[in-house]
Amino acid sequence: MRPWLPTYEGDGYLRQTDIAIALPARQDTAPAPIETLSPRLIERHAHELRHAALRNLAAGLLQRARNWLGEAPAVEAERYLAQATDLADLERRLIDAERRGLLCGRL
Protein backbone atom coordinates (compact mmCIF):
# COMPACT_ATOMS: atom_id res chain seq x y z
CA MET A 1 0.00 0.00 0.00
CA ARG A 2 1.38 3.35 -0.98
CA PRO A 3 0.38 6.28 1.28
CA TRP A 4 -0.77 9.44 -0.43
CA LEU A 5 -1.93 12.92 0.53
CA PRO A 6 -5.37 14.20 -0.45
CA THR A 7 -5.35 17.73 -1.83
CA TYR A 8 -8.04 20.33 -2.35
CA GLU A 9 -8.50 21.26 -5.97
CA GLY A 10 -10.89 24.17 -5.59
CA ASP A 11 -14.07 22.36 -6.54
CA GLY A 12 -14.55 20.73 -3.12
CA TYR A 13 -13.35 17.24 -4.05
CA LEU A 14 -10.29 15.58 -2.59
CA ARG A 15 -8.17 13.83 -5.18
CA GLN A 16 -5.18 11.57 -4.88
CA THR A 17 -1.82 13.12 -5.66
CA ASP A 18 1.49 11.54 -6.50
CA ILE A 19 3.22 12.86 -3.38
CA ALA A 20 4.44 10.01 -1.23
CA ILE A 21 4.53 10.32 2.55
CA ALA A 22 7.68 9.33 4.37
CA LEU A 23 6.56 7.00 7.14
CA PRO A 24 8.44 7.16 10.44
CA ALA A 25 10.83 4.33 11.19
CA ARG A 26 9.34 1.55 13.24
CA GLN A 27 10.50 1.40 16.84
CA ASP A 28 11.14 -1.95 18.40
CA THR A 29 10.77 -0.61 21.95
CA ALA A 30 7.60 -1.31 23.86
CA PRO A 31 5.21 1.63 24.28
CA ALA A 32 5.05 3.33 27.65
CA PRO A 33 2.44 1.79 29.92
CA ILE A 34 -0.79 3.77 30.14
CA GLU A 35 -1.65 4.87 33.65
CA THR A 36 -5.09 3.68 34.58
CA LEU A 37 -7.11 5.04 37.44
CA SER A 38 -9.27 2.85 39.56
CA PRO A 39 -12.97 3.68 39.85
CA ARG A 40 -12.43 4.37 43.55
CA LEU A 41 -9.82 7.05 42.82
CA ILE A 42 -12.05 8.63 40.20
CA GLU A 43 -15.03 8.63 42.58
CA ARG A 44 -12.94 10.10 45.42
CA HIS A 45 -11.65 12.87 43.16
CA ALA A 46 -15.18 13.64 41.93
CA HIS A 47 -16.37 13.70 45.55
CA GLU A 48 -13.64 16.20 46.48
CA LEU A 49 -14.46 18.38 43.47
CA ARG A 50 -18.17 18.33 44.37
CA HIS A 51 -17.41 19.37 47.95
CA ALA A 52 -15.10 22.17 46.78
CA ALA A 53 -17.76 23.47 44.37
CA LEU A 54 -20.46 23.40 47.05
CA ARG A 55 -18.13 25.08 49.54
CA ASN A 56 -17.38 27.87 47.03
CA LEU A 57 -21.07 28.26 46.23
CA ALA A 58 -22.00 28.53 49.92
CA ALA A 59 -19.19 31.02 50.58
CA GLY A 60 -20.33 33.15 47.63
CA LEU A 61 -23.96 33.12 48.75
CA LEU A 62 -22.94 34.01 52.30
CA GLN A 63 -20.80 36.90 51.05
CA ARG A 64 -23.66 38.19 48.90
CA ALA A 65 -26.03 38.04 51.85
CA ARG A 66 -23.53 39.91 54.02
CA ASN A 67 -23.11 42.57 51.35
CA TRP A 68 -26.86 42.90 50.87
CA LEU A 69 -27.58 43.13 54.60
CA GLY A 70 -24.71 45.56 55.09
CA GLU A 71 -25.88 47.94 52.36
CA ALA A 72 -29.30 48.72 53.86
CA PRO A 73 -28.01 50.46 57.02
CA ALA A 74 -25.35 52.27 54.98
CA VAL A 75 -27.98 53.63 52.58
CA GLU A 76 -30.16 54.69 55.51
CA ALA A 77 -27.24 56.45 57.20
CA GLU A 78 -26.25 58.23 53.97
CA ARG A 79 -29.83 59.35 53.41
CA TYR A 80 -30.06 60.67 57.00
CA LEU A 81 -26.74 62.52 56.73
CA ALA A 82 -27.61 63.97 53.30
CA GLN A 83 -30.55 65.86 54.85
CA ALA A 84 -28.14 68.12 56.78
CA THR A 85 -28.53 71.80 55.97
CA ASP A 86 -25.11 73.04 57.09
CA LEU A 87 -21.89 71.81 58.69
CA ALA A 88 -23.16 72.16 62.26
CA ASP A 89 -26.27 70.17 61.39
CA LEU A 90 -24.09 67.50 59.73
CA GLU A 91 -21.93 67.20 62.87
CA ARG A 92 -25.04 66.88 65.04
CA ARG A 93 -26.45 64.22 62.69
CA LEU A 94 -23.14 62.30 62.73
CA ILE A 95 -23.17 62.20 66.54
CA ASP A 96 -26.84 61.17 66.50
CA ALA A 97 -26.19 58.47 63.87
CA GLU A 98 -23.33 57.06 65.96
CA ARG A 99 -25.55 56.92 69.05
CA ARG A 100 -28.34 55.20 67.10
CA GLY A 101 -25.88 52.70 65.58
CA LEU A 102 -26.45 53.69 61.96
CA LEU A 103 -22.77 54.05 61.12
CA CYS A 104 -21.50 50.72 62.51
CA GLY A 105 -17.86 51.70 61.90
CA ARG A 106 -18.36 52.39 58.16
CA LEU A 107 -17.11 55.97 58.12
Q: What is the pLDDT of residues 48-97, one digit of tens each?
A: 999 999 999 999 998 888 877 777 777 888 888 999 999 999 999 999 98
Percentage of residues of the chain with pLDDT beyond 70: 64
Domain annotation covers residue 62: no
Residue 77: give the domain boundaries.
68-107
Q: Kindly state the helix (H) or strand (E) to which residue 40 belongs, with its residue range.
A: helix 39-82
Comparing CA positions, the residue from 27, 1, 5, 33 lying closest to residue 18 is 5
Domain annotation covers residue 103: yes
Comparing CA positions, the residue from 4, 40, 1 lying closest to residue 20 is 4
Sign of CA dihedral 56, 62, 63, 68: positive
Domain annotation covers residue 79: yes
Q: How confident is the model at residue 4 (pLDDT cuts 50, 70, 90)?
A: low
Number of domains in the chain: 1
- Angle among Cα 71, 75, 76 to the nearest 5 degrees reads 120
Of 67 and 47, the structure prediction assigns the larger pLDDT to: 47
The reported pLDDT for the residue numbered 105 is 55
Q: What is the chain's alpha carbon radius of gyration, rounded to the nearest angstrom?
A: 36
Domain annotation covers residue 23: no
